[in-house]
């Protein structure tokens, strides 16, 4: 079982809804990540939090808003999404920001935007 | 620009056969090369990784071969089993990097199907 826990596993939302994805890890990792994965494609980096501070934002639209309340939690707030935002959203963590190649992924949140 | 190129896109192998996936990279600053295995509906899981100071690493039925001069590396799955059917991603990063290197650059993925 993965040590990175994501909730919910599935989410269906309309374009006017506001929802949040949540991620939690208790491995003491100090870097946390959000990735977006479309079908049959590799994960694409969205955000990197390094010691609870946003360090990388890969030009993601503002309708995605990350939040890192503490070193164990990572949220992704969703608002006014588009149908093309439907994807598997993966949370990951690494021991330190420098160990970005050794990622521990959660099982993902499958998002469908109607 | 894709930092890591992966082939083939998919492959089918008989049970007991060998699956081979190839990857190539351009940035010589990369010094950590992991492979991730992803089953449908699940997140990727780190399978095996290598650093460029070794040419081969073996863990059970999985072997990474690394050619630093050619900037290529490959995954061999020996004695392939139906349970190995999954998508495999090669990747590259800078192990202790910051900034640009502080990301995982993934290949496009290879769907492996092992027939019983």
CB contact under 8 A, B43 and A100: no
pLDDT value, residue B101: 44
| Cα-based distances in Å from A92 to A24, A35, B2, B63 | 9, 8, 21, 25
Residue pair B101/B43 in contact by the 8 Å Cβ criterion: no
pLDDT tens for B70-84 read: 999 999 999 999 999
CB < 8 Å from A in window 9-48 of B: 32-34, 36, 41-46
> Chain A contacts of B95, Cβ < 8 Å?
98-99, 101
Closest CA–CA distance from residue A17 to any residue of chain B (Å): 24
* Contacting B residues, span 52-81, partner chain A, CB-CB under 8 Å: none
pLDDT above 50 for B100:
no
pLDDT in tens, chain A (114 residues): 569 999 999 999 998 899 999 999 999 998 999 999 999 899 999 998 988 888 777 789 999 999 999 989 999 999 999 999 999 999 999 988 777 788 999 999 999 999
pLDDT of residue A67: 95
Give the Cα separation of B30 and B71 in Å (integer): 10
pLDDT at B97 over 80: no
**Cα–Cα distance for residue pair A29/A100, rounded to 1 Å:** 11
In this prediction, residue B25 has a pLDDT band, given cuts at 50, 70 and 90, of: very high
Alpha carbons B20 and B95: distance in angstroms, whole number? 25
User: Which pLDDT score, from 0 to 100, does residue A51 have?
Assistant: 85
- Closest listed residue to residue B105, CA positions, set B32, B41, B19, B45: B32
User: Residue B103's pLDDT is what?
Assistant: 79
- Mean pLDDT of all residues in chain B? 92
Q: Which residues of A touch B33 (CB under 8 A)?
A: 101
Please indicate if any CB of chain A lies within 8 Å of the CB of B49: yes
The C-alpha of B9 sits at a distance from chain A's nearest C-alpha, in angstroms, of: 10
- Cβ within 8 Å, pair B103-A100: yes
From the CA of B2, how many Å to the nearest CA of chain A?
11
């Amino acid at each position: 079982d993965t040590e990175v826990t994501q909730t919910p596993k599935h989410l269906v939302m309309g374009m006017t809804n506001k929802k949040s994805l949540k991620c939690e890890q208790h491995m003491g990792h100090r870097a946390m990540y959000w990735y977006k994965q479309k079908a049959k494609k590799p994960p694409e980096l969205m955000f990197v939090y390094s010691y609870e501070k946003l360090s990388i934002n890969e030009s993601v639209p503002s309708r995605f808003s990350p939040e890192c309340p503490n070193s164990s939690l990572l949220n992704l707030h969703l608002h006014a999404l588009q149908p093309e935002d439907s994807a598997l959203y993966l949370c990951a963590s690494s021991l330190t920001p420098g160990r970005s190649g050794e990622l521990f992924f959660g099982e993902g949140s499958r998002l469908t935007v109607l | 620009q894709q930092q890591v190129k992966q082939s083939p896109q998919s492959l089918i192998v008989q049970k007991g056969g060998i699956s081979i996936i190839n990857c190539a990279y351009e940035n010589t600053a990369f010094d950590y090369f992991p492979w991730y295995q992803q089953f449908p509906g699940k997140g990727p899981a780190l399978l095996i990784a290598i650093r460029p100071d070794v040419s081969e690493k073996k863990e059970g039925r999985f072997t990474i071969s690394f050619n630093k001069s050619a900037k290529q590396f490959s995954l061999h799955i020996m004695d392939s089993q139906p349970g190995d059917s999954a998508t495999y991603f090669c990747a590259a990063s800078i192990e202790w990097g910051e900034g640009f290197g502080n990301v995982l650059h993934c290949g496009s993925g290879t769907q492996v199907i092992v027939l019983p």
